[in-house]
């Protein structure tokens, strides 16, 4: 991607521009010096215009004194690479079965292609991004994920090199943050024998937010946020209300793992978790720095 683009704000009246900026000020003051972990995925990651918006938002957050840390996924990109190699992806209960050959592809796609694309985008937008995997600085120690059958708990599946996080050492991320860099993390961990593990990016983002004692965890998704039974957006939720939504079946499907890591992070002290629509240009900036809700905020209390 070459060149830079500026957001055209000429259609906004000066009074409205002033209104937007003055609305951002209390939030900038409140979150100055605080860490924000952002899980980057969905359309925001594959649409070139949204990619650029995302990179600009991350750079702006850094410039006004917040400390963004980006964790990215890459399911569609992995799928594309595997199919080019003539390898068919196999899934058990929504989890990709990752044999040694697939793991090689996963590492190459996530840490090579996807991560470096994001680093490049942020750098072009005026930031200083640095790519990391869980190996760097011994950050993410993992063990093999034990997958139990949903219907029969006595039955276990072998999903290969899919990992469960044992521990996270955030010192490499903290060192970079203190030095004005923006860390971009690929969700790959390493085991006791130096083997690689593919870990769910939502889970990595949630756990990283916990150990960094982040002010916020932001999950960019392809949905407007958490919807009620009528399909209306719920902008504000507590952990207790989410438990009730699990119980009565309002929450199901692809939203479950996302909400589960959001809930864990909120319970472990991350003050607010935002599930926001990555298809809306600059939704992240608007959610963090204005009164306007562009998704669902889950409060820790």
Residue 208 belongs to a domain with what CATH number?
A: 3.40.1160.10
In a domain, 12, yes or no: no
Distance CA 238, CA 204 (A): 22
- Phi, psi (rounded to 5 degrees) for 155: -100, 135
217 pLDDT exceeds 90? yes
**Cβ within 8 Å of residue 214, ≥6 positions away:** 34, 35, 36, 37, 69, 208, 265, 270
Would you say 295 is a known binding-site residue? no
The residue range of the domain holding 270 is: 26-299
Mean pLDDT of all residues belonging to the chain: 88
Residue 213 pLDDT grade (very low, low, confident, very high; cuts 50, 70, 90): very high
Would the pLDDT of 185 be above 80? yes
The pLDDT assigned to 119 comes to 97
Q: Are strands 216-221 and 196-198 parallel, antiparallel or unpaired?
A: unpaired
Q: What is the structure's pLDDT at 2?
A: 43
Q: By percentage, how much of the chain surpasses pLDDT 90?
A: 55
**Residue at 1 is within a domain:** no
User: Is 5 inside a domain boundary?
Assistant: no
- pTM attached to this predicted model: 0.91
Task: For residue 198, say whether it is annotated as part of any ligand binding site.
Answer: yes
Residue 20 covered by a domain: no
Q: Give a yes or no: residue 64 inside a domain.
A: yes
- The stretch 36-54 carries a mean pLDDT of 90
If 0-12 CB within 10 Å is exposed, 13-18 middle and 19+ buried, where does residue 53 land? buried
Reduce the secondary structure of 51-62 to three states and give it as a string: HHHHHHHHHHHH
Does residue 8 fall inside a structural domain? no
Q: What string of DSSP letters covers 150-210?
A: SS-TT-EE--BSBEEEEEE-THHHHHHHHTT-EEEEE-EEE-TTS-EEE--HHHHHHHHHH
Residues 13/43, Cβ–Cβ less than 8 Å: no
Segment among 5-14, 32-41, 75-84, 178-187 with least mean pLDDT: 5-14
Among residues 21, 5, 1, the alpha carbon closest in space to that of 13 is found at 21
For residue 86, the surrounding DSSP H or E stretch is: none
In a domain, 11, yes or no: no
Establish whether 75 is an annotated binding residue: yes
In a domain, 146, yes or no: yes
42 is in an annotated binding site: no
Count of domains for the chain:
1
Top pLDDT among 269 and 121 is at 121
Whether the pLDDT of residue 251 is over 90: the answer is no
pLDDT exceeds cutoff 70 at 158: yes
How far is the C-alpha of 23 from the C-alpha of 230, rounded, in Å?
31
Residue corresponding to tokens 């957006």? 233
Q: What are the tokens at 301?
A: 């209390």
Per-residue pLDDT for 278 more than 80? Answer: yes
pLDDT in tens, 224-243: 888 888 888 888 888 788 88
């Amino acid at each position: 991607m070459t060149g830079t683009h500026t957001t055209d704000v000429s259609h906004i009246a000066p009074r409205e521009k002033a209104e937007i900026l003055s609305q951002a000020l209390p939030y900038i003051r409140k979150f100055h010096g605080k860490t924000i972990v952002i899980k980057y995925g969905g359309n925001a990651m594959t649409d070139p215009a949204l990619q650029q918006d995302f990179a600009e938002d991350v750079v702006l957050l850094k410039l006004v004194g917040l400390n963004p840390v980006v964790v990215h996924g890459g399911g569609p990109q992995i799928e594309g690479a595997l199919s080019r190699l003539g390898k068919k992806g196999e899934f058990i209960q929504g989890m990709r079965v990752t044999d040694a050959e697939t793991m090689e592809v996963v590492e190459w796609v996530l840490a090579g292609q996807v991560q470096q694309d994001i680093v490049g985008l942020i750098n072009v937008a005026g930031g200083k991004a640095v790519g990391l995997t869980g190996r760097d600085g011994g950050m993410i120690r993992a063990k093999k994920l034990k997958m139990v059958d949903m219907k029969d708990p006595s039955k276990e599946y072998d999903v290969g090199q899919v990992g469960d996080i044992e521990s996270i050492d955030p010192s490499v991320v903290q060192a970079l943050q203190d030095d004005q860099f923006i860390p971009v993390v690929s969700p790959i961990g390493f085991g006791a024998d130096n083997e690689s593990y593919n870990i769910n990016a939502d889970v990595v983002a949630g756990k990283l937010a916990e150990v960094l004692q982040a002010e916020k965890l932001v999950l960019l998704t392809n949905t407007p946020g958490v919807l009620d039974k009528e399909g209306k957006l719920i902008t504000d939720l507590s952990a207790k209300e989410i438990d009730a939504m699990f119980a009565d079946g309002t929450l199901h499907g692809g939203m479950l793992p996302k909400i589960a890591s959001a809930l864990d992070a909120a319970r472990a002290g991350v003050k607010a978790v935002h599930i926001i629509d990555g298809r809306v240009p600059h939704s992240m900036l608007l959610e963090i720095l204005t009164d306007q809700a562009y998704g669902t905020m889950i409060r820790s209390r």
